[in-house]
Amino acid sequence: MKIFRTAEIKGKEVSQYNSKMLMRKIIMTDAPTHIAIIELGVDGIVGYHEAAVPQLLIVLEGEGRVRTGNETGINVKAGDIVFWDKGEEHETESAEGMTALVVESQGLEPFIQNNLVSQDRLN
């Protein structure tokens, strides 16, 4: 499992088409891709399971905990990005509620490898 902080992803200023924005690229894929919004209510959970393909979870609102293997869990909140490799067993839960964008696709590789946040800084 890899966790990234959105604010720490180097972005690119875009001015084309009279734009004034910062773009932070997260992922690119040539394979068919499944994109979904998940909503975990109070005490919501995505049960422990194996990732059938690489998976990306982008927390949009709220907060929760993610874990893989025998970990006790790592806190995540809006703006955090979690990446699981194919075959990695994992679970997501939220005590107060959380909304996240989920991207699943073969060959999914984050652009943001160098912006990995250490586990020590997440707890």
30-68: per-residue pLDDT in tens? Answer: 888 999 999 999 999 999 999 999 999 999 999 999 999
Q: What is the pLDDT of residue 16?
A: 82
Task: Tell me which amino acid residue 67 is.
Answer: R
- Contact 17/84 with Cβ under 8 angstroms? no
CATH, domain range 2-122: 2.60.120.10
Q: Is residue 120 classed exposed, middle or buried when 0-12, 13-18 and 19+ CB atoms within 10 A define those classes? A: exposed
DSSP for residue 123:
-
Q: What is the pLDDT of residue 119?
A: 43
| pTM of the model as a whole | 0.79
